[in-house]
Structure formats: structure tokens, C-alpha cells
Chains A and B, each alone.
Chain A
Amino acid sequence: MDPSAQWRLHPQVSVRPEPFGALLYHFGTRKLSFLKDRTLVRVVDELLQAPDAIAACDRAGVAAENRATYLRALETLAASHMIEERTA
């Protein structure tokens, strides 16, 4: 997963906010992902407008020392196609 690339939520993914974070359901793969942390939900929300994944973390208020954890989470989401690189 390239943190300096532009990312976005996969168009077939539905995001359902929950008190504990969010549920993401991919209509193509039929997989459910559980985001355990509201900050991660904010990171995912910021992806579309942010120039890259690192900027999305910054905009969501992720402290620099925790950035690796959030990028790892994004990697997991990329591996299951919940997020994808965008070209525009």
C-alpha cells in the first residue's frame, strides 16, 4: 500500500457509522470490516479529498507517533479492497 498515493473508498463499499467506530460492507466481496476506532473512520472519510494517505491521517488528527498504526490499518483495508487507489 503506497501511503503517498491517492486513495478512496471502493465504490461498492457501504460505510455505516456506529458508536464504536464503523462497519464497512463490500457488496462485491461480501466481506464486513469493523473499524474499531473513530479516528480511523475520520481517516477513511478524509481519503477522497486528501492528496495522499499521510495527509488524510494528519487531517483526521492522527499524532505522528501513531501514524504507522493507522497506515497499517489502511493497508488491511486496501488488501481486502475496501479502499482503492484513485487516479484523478
Chain B
Amino acid sequence: MNKLYHARGLHKSYVMGHETVRVLRGATLHVEKGEFLAIMGASGSGKSTLLHILGALDVPDRGTLEFNGQNVLNWSERERRAFRNRQVGFVFQFYHLLPELNLLENVMIAKMVGHSGWQWRFRRHEIRREAEAIVGRIGLTDRAKHRPNELSGGERQRVAIARALINRPTLLLADEPTGNLDEAIGADILKLLVELNEAGQTIVMVTHDTRVASHAHRCVQLSEGVLHEAEQPAGRRGSVPILTKKVAP
């Protein structure tokens, strides 16, 4: 086994009005390199919170987080930002594209965040070529100049995936990636995720839909703040592929 991420005993609570809601109550999870892991749970069960903690967007109240053997919770804010920029790619249910930018720019923005103006000056052509290659891979080359409001839901989610991949992240975190799409287009997106995973991309996907989860290698259920190994729904069962080469988007 090639352990990539190991979360142990995660606790997280929120204060909502006068009430404290305990979302995670000792959730434990490990992710293998090259694995496609689905985290299932009912709406409001804390799936997104768990994903945000895994992506260093949020911090748990208690627990430990180890990424490639390093304690994520000991990292400085600068290291956490670098982690989010280079090691992790987020895909959200509502795409979260920047409406002022066109498709290609939305993909490149992740690179821009990681580069100073000076660095950008020297690498912009190379980065643009990379972005165009990824846009080509998701089949939207002819729409590269279009803005998000000119794209369909499925196209927007593809762009969000492309943006998440441009920095060649070790881990792709997808939060209900098909939740806002109809079945056919959702299937299309899942197919893309599976293809990426087959190419070696580690993916952790949050969903409440068993059909969506069936595309993962492994499935865990978040219930009452604790994760349980769930029976893999019928579909893509199998062993975790052994990563033999650097993941290329």
C-alpha cells in the first residue's frame, strides 16, 4: 500500500446561533496513492467539512492529518497555501468559476496564483500552452474564449476539473461534482474522473449518490460524524492501482 493521506480522530464543530453543531466526531480516514475514494453521507452530515479539512481550507478542532507522512496541522499558513496550490485540486458542486474570466483564463488562474508577476513574465507562454493542452483534453478547445455564462453546466464542471488539474496536484478533491448536473452529463463528468484516476490521479470525491459512488474503488460512509467502511456499490470495484509513474493531467 502507498499511503498518501491519513486523517485520524477528526473533530469539528460549528456554532450556529446559540447551538453548537458537532459535525465530525472522531472521523478517521486514509487515502492511498492512485485511489478513487468516495465519501458518502446524507446532506449536512459533514462531507464537505471533511473535504475542506483534507484540502487544508479548514482546520479540525482535534485530530491529526498526515499527508505524505507530514503533519498538515503543523504547517504554517504559507505552507498550507502552497499545499492548496500545488498538491491539491478542488472541484466544487457549483463549479465556482470566476465569471469575468474566459474558459482558458479560468484554467490558468490557478497557475497565476502560484506565480509572482516576475515569474509569470517568463513562464506565461509555457503555462498558456499547458492550459490549452488541458482544455483540449476536456474537449473544449473551441470554447476557450467563452465565459462561464456561455457554457453549459457540464462544460463548466469540465473547466473546474481542468483548473484543478493544471498544477498537477497529488490529490483531487471533488465535492459533489455531479450534484448540479443532469444524469447524462453527470455520467460524462464521472467518466472523465475515472479516466483521470486510471491515469494515476488520486481522487477523493464526496457524494450522497450511490450511483456516483459506484465509480470509486472504495467507499466510506460518514454518519454521525464518524466514517465507516461502506460496502462498495455495484460498479467499478477493484483493487487500488499501483502508481508506477508521475501523474500527468
- A, B from the same assembly: no
Hey, which bits of chain A sit against chain B, CB under 8 A? none
